Copies of this chain bind each other. A is one copy, B any other.
Amino acid sequence: MRTGVWLVGARGSVATTSIVGALALRAGLTGPTGCVTELPELRGPALPSFADLVFGGHDPVATPLAKRADALAAAGVLPARLVAALGAELAAVDHEVRPAPADGSQADRAAAVVADLTAFRDRHRLDRVVVVNVSATEPAAPPHPAHTDPDALAAALAGPDEVLPASSLYAYAAFTAGCPYVDFTPSTGARLPALETLAARHGLPYAGHDGKTGETLVKSVLAPMFAMRHLTVRSWSGANLLGGGDGANLADPDANAAKVRSKDRLLGEILGYVPQGHTRIDYVEDLGDFKTAWDLVTFAGFLGTPMRMEFTWHGCDSALAAPLVLDLARLTAAAHAAGRRGPLADLAFFFKDPLAAPTHSLAEQWDRLARFTAALHAEHGGAA
């Protein structure tokens, strides 16, 4: 099952780490640490192997992947020996990464993306291509009347306005080209009625939003712990310090607000009430590709006794995100092959702000993911 992975933002840190990792796994140079789909509970025949994955993508910048990988090695994100060993393979992927279409109306640009996706699929004789957005977080998009209907949308895109944010234009192009779409960012992506209808028309699955890689991952197990113990969370405050490209981008207040909103949904859903406290995101260039999050939770126990918990998470976002990008590409490809369509609620495990969210508790998300995967493997076995 040859599967294309088309990365929007293909030269960014997450994409580069995903590509280097997949090539290293294929070459037997590393193990699958961090790849959820390689756990015994999820592994199985329905998923394309790492060797089945073919990478391509768009990026406005032109820095060769090998150079990006060298920078990540210098920053402690990638082992230098892997980057050195994979020079030829990285150069090959480089040929499949094109400049993001920038000319003409949004309809023109969407058509250019469709053409790139189709050519990529044909050139490599791929069974399917999964489009994965790993580009920078956008500000929340302004509403537009054409967002509710695919035909009105097609008409509006041909005009002079910027009708869709970039992430949604990619979802539009992906669906038009018959490709599933995954949004690893908090951007709008496929979350517009017109795009949901378009996906349904083409019988396509899609997934998102915002890969759950750090502070929110921890919250998704701690908040259920407080709930299961019937402890009252009085306040939950978070300070997120991050460097790297994502940090600089989030220094923009609008992108910051979109990100914080995505992070804040979880507590209310799990606890049944919204505790006091704020989540802050600040840019600290010196942290590079790492992120330090500090959270303070105050809670009340039996008879109101006040107590508290703090945690500090010091993680490398690219190293946490990249294996999940591979997991999502594999799972979404398998879901597509099995005829699943619409929002993949069973992939909530991977996201801060999951589509059609059945739950924000990591343990419940895990149970759903395991059942979902088992079903795919069973159907695949039955089909074979």
Report which A residues bind B (CB closer than 8 A).
17, 20-21, 24, 30, 32-36, 38-39, 76-79, 82, 217-218, 220-222, 224-225, 228-232, 234-235, 237, 239, 241, 276-278, 280, 282, 284-287, 290, 292, 294, 296, 298, 300-316, 319-320, 322-323, 349, 361-364, 366
Indicate if the CB atoms of A307 and B285 lie closer than 8 Å. no
Please report the C-alpha to C-alpha distance between residue A303 and residue B32 in the assembled complex, in whole angstroms: 8
Residue of B nearest to A311 (CB): B311
Known contacts: A218-B225, A364-B363. The answer to whether A241 contacts B304 by CB under 8 A is no
Please report the C-alpha to C-alpha distance between residue A235 and residue B286 in the assembled complex, in whole angstroms: 7
Indicate if the CB atoms of B230 and A32 lie closer than 8 Å. yes
Indicate if the CB atoms of A303 and B78 lie closer than 8 Å. yes
Indicate if the CB atoms of A33 and B364 lie closer than 8 Å. no
Residues of B within 8 A of A362 (CB): 225, 228, 363
Of the residues B35, B36, B218, B314, contact of A308 by C-beta under 8 Å: B314
Known contacts: A303-B82, A309-B312, A363-B361. The answer to whether A33 contacts B280 by CB under 8 A is no
Residues of B within 8 A of A284 (CB): 235, 237, 276-277, 298
Please report the C-alpha to C-alpha distance between residue A76 and residue B307 in the assembled complex, in whole angstroms: 11
Please report the C-alpha to C-alpha distance between residue A306 and residue B75 in the assembled complex, in whole angstroms: 11
Known contacts: A218-B225, A225-B362. The answer to whether A17 contacts B303 by CB under 8 A is yes
Please report the C-alpha to C-alpha distance between residue A366 and residue B33 in the assembled complex, in whole angstroms: 28
Number of copies: 4
Please report the C-alpha to C-alpha distance between residue A296 and residue B241 in the assembled complex, in whole angstroms: 9
Known contacts: A303-B20, A316-B301. The answer to whether A296 contacts B294 by CB under 8 A is yes
A278 to chain B, nearest CB (A): 5
A361 to chain B, nearest CB (A): 7
Indicate if the CB atoms of A276 and B280 lie closer than 8 Å. no
Please report the C-alpha to C-alpha distance between residue A21 and residue B301 in the assembled complex, in whole angstroms: 11
Residue of B nearest to A220 (CB): B225
Known contacts: A230-B32, A237-B284. The answer to whether A303 contacts B21 by CB under 8 A is yes
Q: List 3 A-B pairs, minimum CB-CB distance, nearest first.
A: A363-B363, A305-B319, A34-B302
Please report the C-alpha to C-alpha distance between residue A181 and residue B322 in the assembled complex, in whole angstroms: 50
Please report the C-alpha to C-alpha distance between residue A277 and residue B243 in the assembled complex, in whole angstroms: 11
